[in-house]
Amino acid sequence: MAGLVHSIEELVGHTPLMELDRFERQQQCGAHLLAKLEFFNPTGSVKDRAALSMLNAAEEAGLLKPGGTIVEQTSGNTGIGLAAFAAERGYKLDIFLERGASLERRLMLLAYGARLLDYKDATGERPETKRTHPWQEPEREATLDEIAAYCRRTGAYFNNQAANPANPEAHYRTTGPEIWQDTEGHVDILVCMAGTGGTGFGTASYLRSRNPNLQVVLVQPHPDSRLTPEHPDAQIIDGVLPAYDVPESALSDYLRPDWSDACINVRTEEAYETAHEVLRAEGLFLGTSAAAALHAAVQVGRRPENQGKNIVVIVPDNGMKYLSTPMYRQK
């Protein structure tokens, strides 16, 4: 039967592109806001694309053996994608979770059979344990060097999405071409947020290869919405990091300002408000980073020079993994 699929891997990609007509009018935005709805991927986020691409690349390179263990540091979505495909292919998965990951993401990882590890597991300060209280924040995050040392000690494969070329390659090969096809080549501006930078870098690279005049706007958390010594209790935008006006040492291989033309800072509270506005206008239930990107896209779309242009917004996931966060508890 031609309509059947036989693996969740066949469900990755080919996500819809939706114009937010009602929201545009409500926000008095003269541009066309086109939302790339990545929560239609099988585990609910854009990171399924990169997770599958990185897993395939590791197998092709002989870095993963049957029954082996994959290790990743993640705020949740990449880990969830890896967990689904690892379960399907018979791999184990160890996750060093970043601070700020929602309870729903932690529980999903555990449901897939992943182990949530602590930096002390990486440093060898205590025996490796299965975390029994997934809602607890780690005392601190493990560094990449500590995780690499853990992998050498245990013989596990460190996926390291922040420096893995199969991460942006997934979006150059799939996300960018899908957007180009669905807009029939009429895409003027790309708005996206970045964690590792793989989604934006790969998508922008493809679209620029077709339209050298493409404008790329990178959305980043406002300084008030970042965990710093000055704001230790800040409500953050999960999985999103700044690339502009930060030390060079804070940048990763793909999280760099040079693949974008401009940036917009968004406060977490602004993302929360936009999430509720688009929920009422379009019935779309968005995650924090998606709402932040949409908030920025509205600012771009209101500019006189952008009237009538097509603005594509990457919507990484929906609100299902954020029900325990203040975004959906506050109203």
10 Å Cβ neighbour count for 159? 29
The one catalytic residue among 36, 75, 289, 321: 289
User: What is d(CA 187, CA 180) in angstroms, rounded to the nearest whole number?
Assistant: 7
Which residues are CB-neighbours of 40 under 8 A, at least 6 positions away? 15, 16
Measured over all CA atoms, what is the biggest interatomic distance in the chain, rounded to whole angstroms?
A: 60
Backbone angles phi, psi at 26, to 5 degrees: -60, -40
Is 47 annotated as catalytic? Answer: yes
As a whole number of angstroms, the distance between CA 248 and CA 80 comes to 29
Of the residues 47, 53, 102, 225, only one is catalytic, namely 47
Instruction: Give the list of residues 6+ apart from residue 86 with CB closer than 8 angstroms, or none.
Output: 55, 70, 92, 93, 112, 114
Task: Please state, in angstroms and as integers, the Cα–Cα distance from residue 254 to each residue in 48, 80, 200, 258, 283, following that order.
Answer: 18, 21, 9, 9, 33
Q: Which of 195, 170, 191 is nearest to 255 (CA)?
A: 195
| Dihedral sign computed on CA atoms, order 6, 70, 66, 167 | positive
Active site residue 289: yes
H or E element, residue 215 = strand 215-221
Is residue 209 a contact partner of residue 173, using CB atoms and an 8 Å limit? no
Q: Are strands 17-19 and 32-37 parallel, antiparallel or unpaired?
A: antiparallel
Catalytic residues, by residue number, are 47, 289
